[in-house]
Amino acid sequence: MSQMRLFSLKMNDGCFMPMLGLGTSAPPQVAKSEVEKAIKRAIDVGYRHIDSAYMYQNEEEIGRAIQMKIAAGTVKRSDLFYTTKLWSTFFRPELVQTCLESSLRKLQLSYVDLYLTHFPIAMKPGEDFFPKDTYGNIIFDTVDLCTTWEALEKCKDAGLAKSIGVSNFNRKQLEMILNEPGLKYKPVCNQVECHPYLNQSKLLEFCKSKDILLVAYATLGSDVRKKWVKKDNPVLLQDPVLNTIAEKHRRTPAQVTLRYQLQRGVAALAKSFNEKRLKENFQVFEFQLTPEDMQSLDGLNRNMRYFEEDSLSHHPNYPFHDEY
């Protein structure tokens, strides 16, 4: 059995997603060239799941790194699982494929393994990622998310995306897609913020009941240099309970938080461009947490988010108002 299949989760469309992925979202202070180097390092370490998005503006660099590793014979395209995301200014059905094709051109790829809606709020189409009026307010667009989903289904049918899913959806928004008359493909996953301080247990339970994978981002907390990250939250990796468990297993706190997700059946994205930490994070398959460890980590939940966006929070589709 291939390594990718061994450490993978089967999705509801029959495709497999590697349980551990490399997140690539970085604050503006990080040079784009660092992303390219990190992808090459990660592939050498053994990562086969790479998560990015149209909005991250780093897909040219990622594409170059992937092409170099394919040309060098390190990996074949079929070894890699690549995710990109539909940005909110492309939610009109006629623009959905345009956004994906733009990503594919930058990546120099003919398909992505997974295409997600990035955030359940439509914004005015155009060049700006966050279109604003003269008062500095975001200009939203009125688009039925179900029609956006139908356009994603067409991207799958066209072979441009092997699997399709959503990101940052709450239960209500997932149910809206699942209950859509004439639904052709249900989302394979819901990618959300998830870590011991926000363990998403109710959303995870709901997703499992519908055969939808939960994919966790901000698994290690988050970089306060990012625009959307709250600046005064406690640092997850300094948590005493987490550190006690890490010491017991002679592992790092990051390894323990990632292992926690894998044992819950959650696919975990970890963002690090540092070679030592890339290697450490990839060692999560080498140990197991005890039921007591898992219980202690469950007990850290405080429904605390690192990611919040105030400029979107008054929109009726803002997903974080609901507990799940």
Is 84 within 8 Å of 56 (Cβ atoms)? no
DSSP per residue over 229-241, as a string? B-SSS--GGG-HH
Residue 188, CA atoms < 13 Å, CB-side half-sphere: 22
The closest alpha carbon to 130, from 257, 316, 290, 312, belongs to 312
265's tokens: 């059946």
pLDDT single digits (tens) 38-88? 999 999 999 999 999 999 999 999 999 999 999 999 999 999 999 999 999
pLDDT single digits (tens) 143-187? 999 999 999 999 999 999 999 999 999 999 999 999 999 999 999
pLDDT of residue 293: 98
Q: Which residues pair with 219 in a beta bridge?
A: 221
237's tokens: 């990796």
pLDDT of residue 224: 55
Low-confidence ranges of the chain (pLDDT < 70): 1-6, 222-231, 322-323
Active site residues: 56
pTM confidence score? 0.94
- Distance separating alpha carbons of residues 101 and 96, to the nearest angstrom: 9
pLDDT of residue 1: 43
Residue type (1 letter), 241: V
Whether 118 has a binding-site annotation, put simply, is yes
Residue type (1 letter), 51: D
pLDDT of residue 229: 62
